[in-house]
Every structure is written in structure tokens, then in C-alpha cells.
């Protein structure tokens, strides 16, 4: 099994959002990766510059960060060939590792744009090294920059940052400082290629919470009437938990609830509403045990929303 640590650099519309291609807001211009064996030893590397086809100049803010010249990109490889070579280079069995949670999605979006997404079937499981660092060294929630992390771990900074191959190398060095016991149970799943049917729905148990990813629904209202979407089971014993605070809409994209397991106590439910490019909806639900204080915070959120609605009715 190979560990593929990769990084992407991308461009966006140099003339602003008004002129961007909605199907490809971020065009990949560089792929960099290193391959590690199961002992976390670097055994190979991969690097390709991509010849842009959508945006004919580099956005000023992008150029300031990555310092790549458009003339160099003009000599690069077309994305479909570069992506195919990358997937072939990964080998038959691999795990993806990235810094943050965006690279896997952007890789798929670019592949879909060029009709080669079949080379990378999804949903794609990967490991977010930024998250793993927080789990191993911090509070599981804080997210640090790659350079900050390199400094904290005392890793040599002989190369620059914000180029794909260099950042992939730095990410690999961080990975070497994280033991497998913190890595293997904490995979992430990218749902750019989300479940379409009930049999494709995803259930994952992590060390401290459960995650469920639903199939697609035509409307958000129909989604929130589905029994599986709104069910609350204890992440420890998997028994049904009794609802103490019913699901309520915190905003248009998030719902919360509080339930109680007779044996293991209170659990917080959170549903993130996701919308597909085809204007359909699916749910990403997490269920996690919480203490009384955190449950009280959820209750206070609900009460604040109630008061806000009551005041709005009075004003009308």
C-alpha cells in the first residue's frame, strides 16, 4: 500500500468572479506529489505543470503566492494527460494524503470538466494531514498553516512554500511525525461524488463520533422527512436515542438536535445540508456524545432563534 501525499496549485478568473467558468472556478495549473511506503519512507515523486485552457492569464493574487510564470505554464502538459499519468503513477493500491480538505475535491472537479472522472471513482476516502496534526498535537479542532506546523515540529525549511511539489514534501515530513494510531482511525471522505441511491449511502464510525451521508433528494424538505436522515443513534452502543431537542434549522445549511442514550448520556446531532450541481440535496449527519454544557449551548441557540422569529412576527 502506497501513501500518496499530493498538493495542487490552481488559478482562477483573472478578471474576477463575474467572468469565471461556473463549471471550473479553479483551474489546476500544477500537480506535485511524493510516494511513501508503509514505513513512511519517500520512494518516488511526481511533478507536472499544466497548460491552462480556461483562464488565459494568472490572477494577480495567485501569482503573488505561487510565483509561477504563465510562460512556463504555456509549455506545460494538458490536464487530462497529466491527471491520467498521476493516477497511473499512484499505483494499484494507495491512500491519498493532503494538507486541508480542498485538493481532493478540486482534483475531481477538474477531472469532471474534462470527462475523465471515471479514473477516480468516488466518494474518495483520504487523510487530511492538517486535521491529523491537530488530533495528534492540539485540540482536534484548530487548523494550522503548513509553515506554522513545520516550524513547530522543527522540520528543515530549505525549500520555499506554495509550490506543489515542495508543499507535498513538507506535508510528507509532517506525516512522518504522526503515529499510525492517530492516522488510520481518522480518515476523511470527500463527497464531491456523493451517494445517489439508498444502497450507496455511507455510514462511518470514528473514535469519537459517527457520520452518515445520505442519498440525494429533490428537495430539502423531503430530505428532512426521511427517517434515516433524522434518526439519532448512540455512537457507542448504536441504540436509538430519545430526542430531547428536536431537529431545528440553525440556518439554511445546518440543523441541530439533542438526544439522550440511557446508557451513555447526551448526544448532539448535526446535519449539514449539501446541494449538488444538479440542484439536488443530500445530508451529512454527525452524532457525537456531549456534556451538559454543550447540550445547553444547543438549547440556547434554539431559544434565540425562537425569540428572533417571535420578534419578526410582531414587527410584521
Q: Write the pLDDT tens digit of every residue in 9-61.
A: 998 887 788 888 899 999 999 999 999 998 999 999 999 999 999 988 777 66
**Residue 272, all three cell numbers:** 449539514
In tens, the pLDDT along 179-211 reads 999 999 999 999 999 999 999 999 999 988 999
d(Cα 47, Cα 164) in Å, to the nearest integer?
A: 8
pLDDT given at position 237: 94
pLDDT class of 314 with cuts at 50, 70, 90: confident
Q: Which residues contact 293 (CB under 8 A, 6 or more apart)?
A: none
Percentage of residues in the chain having pLDDT higher than 70: 97
Q: What is the mean pLDDT of residues 78-91?
A: 97
d(Cα 140, Cα 104) in Å, to the nearest integer?
A: 21
Q: What share of the chain is helix, strand, coil (3-state, %, to 5)?
A: 35, 30, 35
pLDDT given at position 66: 66
Nearest by Cα to 8 from 78, 93, 108, 81: 108
Q: Are 100 and 130 in contact (CB under 8 A)?
A: yes
3-state secondary structure of 280: coil
pLDDT given at position 258: 97
Q: Are 214 and 283 in contact (CB under 8 A)?
A: yes
Nearest by Cα to 227 from 266, 295, 217: 217
Q: Is pLDDT above 80 for 70?
A: no
CATH class of 2-183: alpha beta
pLDDT given at position 64: 55
Select the more confidently predicted residue: 62 or 165: 165
Nearest by Cα to 171 from 188, 186, 153: 153
* Mean of pLDDT over the chain: 93
Task: Provide the phi-psi class of 82: left if phi over 0, else alpha when psi is between -120 and 50, else beta.
Answer: alpha
Q: Is pLDDT above 80 for 63?
A: no
DSSP 19: G
In tens, the pLDDT along 282-291 reads 999 999 999 9
pLDDT class of 162 with cuts at 50, 70, 90: confident
In tens, the pLDDT along 103-132 reads 999 999 999 999 999 999 999 999 999 999
Q: What is the DSSP string of 191-222?
A: -SS---SGGG-EEEE-SS-EEEE---BSSHHH
Select the more confidently predicted residue: 100 or 66: 100
Nearest by Cα to 90 from 168, 186, 24, 160: 168
pLDDT given at position 117: 97
pLDDT given at position 309: 84
pLDDT given at position 67: 65
Distances (CA, A) of 22 to 19, 27, 48, 275: 9, 11, 25, 15
Radius of gyration of the chain (CA): 22
Amino acid at each position: 500500500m502506497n501513501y500518496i501525499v499530493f498538493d495542487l496549485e490552481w488559478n482562477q478568473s483573472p478578471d474576477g468572479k463575474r467572468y469565471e467558468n461556473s463549471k471550473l472556478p479553479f483551474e489546476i495549473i500544477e500537480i506535485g506529489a511524493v510516494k511513501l511506503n508503509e514505513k513512511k519512507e519517500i520512494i518516488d515523486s511526481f511533478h507536472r505543470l499544466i497548460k491552462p485552457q480556461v483562464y488565459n492569464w494568472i490572477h494577480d493574487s495567485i501569482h503573488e503566492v505561487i510565483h509561477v510564470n504563465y510562460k512556463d505554464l504555456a509549455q506545460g502538459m494538458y490536464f487530462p494527460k497529466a491527471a491520467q499519468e498521476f493516477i497511473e503513477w499512484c499505483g494499484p493500491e494507495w491512500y491519498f494524503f493532503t494538507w486541508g480538505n480542498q485538493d481532493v475535491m478540486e482534483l475531481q472537479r477538474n477531472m469532471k470538466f474534462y470527462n475523465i472522472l471515471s479514473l477516480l471513482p468516488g466518494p474518495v476516502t483520504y487523510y487530511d494531514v492538517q486535521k491529523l496534526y491537530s488530533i495528534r498535537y492540539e485540540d482536534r479542532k484548530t487548523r494550522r498553516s503548513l509553515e506554522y506546523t513545520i516550524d513547530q515540529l522543527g522540520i528543515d525549511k530549505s525549500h520555499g512554500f506554495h509550490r506543489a511539489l515542495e508543499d507535498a514534501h513538507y506535508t510528507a515530513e509532517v506525516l512522518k511525525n504522526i503515529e499510525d494510531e492517530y492516522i488510520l482511525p481518522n480518515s476523511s471522505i470527500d463527497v464531491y461524488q456523493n451517494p445517489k441511491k439508498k444502497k450507496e449511502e455511507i455510514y462511518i464510525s470514528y473514535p469519537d463520533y459517527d457520520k452518515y451521508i445520505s442519498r440525494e433528494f429533490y428537495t430539502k424538505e423531503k430530505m428532512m422527512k426521511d427517517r434515516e436522515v433524522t434518526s439519532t443513534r448512540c455512537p457507542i452502543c448504536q441504540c436509538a436515542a430519545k430526542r430531547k431537542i428536536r431537529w431545528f434549522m440553525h440556518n439554511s445549511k445546518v440543523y441541530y438536535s439533542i438526544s439522550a442514550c440511557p446508557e451513555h448520556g447526551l448526544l448532539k446531532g448535526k446535519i449539514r445540508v449539501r446541494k449538488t450541481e444538479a440542484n439536488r440535496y443530500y445530508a451529512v449527519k454527525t452524532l457525537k456524545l456531549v456534556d451538559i454544557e454543550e447540550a445547553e449551548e444547543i438549547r440556547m441557540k434554539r431559544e434565540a432563534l425562537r425569540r428572533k422569529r417571535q420578534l419578526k412576527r410582531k414587527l410584521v
